[in-house]
Amino acid sequence: MTKPVRMAMVGLGWWGQKMLSVLEAAPDEIEVVRAVEPNMDGVEALCREKNLPLGADYDEALADPDVDAVILATPHTLHEAQIEAAVAAGKHVFCEKPLSLTKAGAERAVALCRDAGLQLGMGHERRFEPPIARLLQLADDGALGRIQQIEANFSHDKFLSLDRGNWRLKGDQAPAGGMTATGIHLLDLSVRLLGAAESVHCICENLSSDLPQGDTVAAFTRFSGGGTSYVSASLANPFFSRFAVFGSDGWIDIRDKAHVEAPDGWIVTSAMKGGPITVEDVPPAEPVKDNLVAFARAVRGEAPYPITSDHLVNNIALLEAVFASAKSGRTERVP
């Protein structure tokens, strides 16, 4: 395939516009050749400014021979059908999280892309933040020893201003408070480090808002190979993001200075066995762009995409169990 990969941006809401913006810095890797948005009010001027063809018909974009891949920044329950349609049209797929709301749906999406020889990318940009990428490499190299525990929180209050009928707040799209908005990134990193999950206990409450699916959620996960992860998220407190990993030979605590929408760098505190506690200030980067570039390079066959099929399925299996536990109030087995 020639460079750049030609993509259709499907969905021009908050996050679709964010991705469109960051891709302006990667013209040699990705060219957005058209946009799809059924609610055109407010985006027509944006597309005219960028000289980007805009339409409301997804099928029309899939029929366009100039489109190599689609980026799905769409409501969660649409992902499975949109992926199936893209694969039938021979298009590679980059899907915003979550891939599906069920393990069975994730398995089907993965199998469809794999069997068609098409690349499936996932909007888990947290993996591409420089300190997170370094943490993952240290863990893979064994430098942290046996990973024992993970503690993580990813919170913001951006959704408090949304109309209560917005799809991001609906029970069929986003159950369990902030788990599909922010917590899923932390579940992904937990699965990446500790493997498939065995069981989870989730508590979701509404403590300080009228958000219909709750504003405060916490999930405690036990993994099949040992180890635990505590993931929490609030949709009703100012921005906070922390990801901490504790191993037998060292620990690392990563805190974001700002939301990934406008990254401002990270503060990394760490210690290795026998050494001092150190604090490092890591400068800003653009992980949303870097994830999409990694996807484009995988489409061209230049490098493997780092988020594997097992990671994708195991993450959604855990997410499905989180939903079940939030509803039942009991510890649930992961399917």
Digitized pLDDT (tens) for each residue of the chain, 335 residues in all:
679 999 999 999 999 999 999 999 999 999 999 999 998 888 999 999 999 999 999 999 999 999 999 999 999 999 999 999 999 999 999 999 999 999 999 999 999 999 999 999 999 999 999 999 999 999 999 999 999 999 999 999 999 999 999 999 999 999 999 999 999 999 999 999 999 999 999 999 999 999 999 999 999 999 999 999 999 999 999 999 999 999 999 999 999 999 999 999 999 999 999 999 999 999 999 999 999 999 999 999 999 999 999 999 999 999 999 999 999 999 999 99
83 in Cβ contact with 111 (< 8 Å):
no
Mean pLDDT of the chain: 96
How much is the pLDDT for 41? 83
Yes or no: say if 33 and 23 are a contact pair by the CB < 8 Å rule: no
The answer to whether the bond into 4 is cis (omega within 30° of 0) is yes
Query: If we measure between CA atoms, which residue out of 94, 81, 66, 86 comes closest to residue 6?
Result: 66
Give the β-pairing of 197-205 and 228-234. unpaired
Q: What is the DSSP string of 40-54?
A: -TTTHHHHHHTT--E
Instruction: Give me the domains of the chain, ranges plus CATH numbers.
Output: 5-125 (3.40.50.720), 127-333 (3.30.360.10)
pLDDT at 1 (0 to 100):
67
pLDDT at residue 61, rounded to an integer: 97
Q: What are the two backbone dihedrals, phi and then psi, of residue 269, each rounded to the nearest 5 degrees?
A: -110, 135
Helix, strand, coil share (%) of the chain residues, nearest 5: 35, 25, 40
Residue-wise pLDDT for 197-233, tens only, equals: 999 999 999 999 999 999 999 999 999 999 999 999 9
- For 308-331, the pLDDT digits (tens) are 999 999 999 999 999 999 999 999
Could you tell me the pTM of the whole model?
0.96
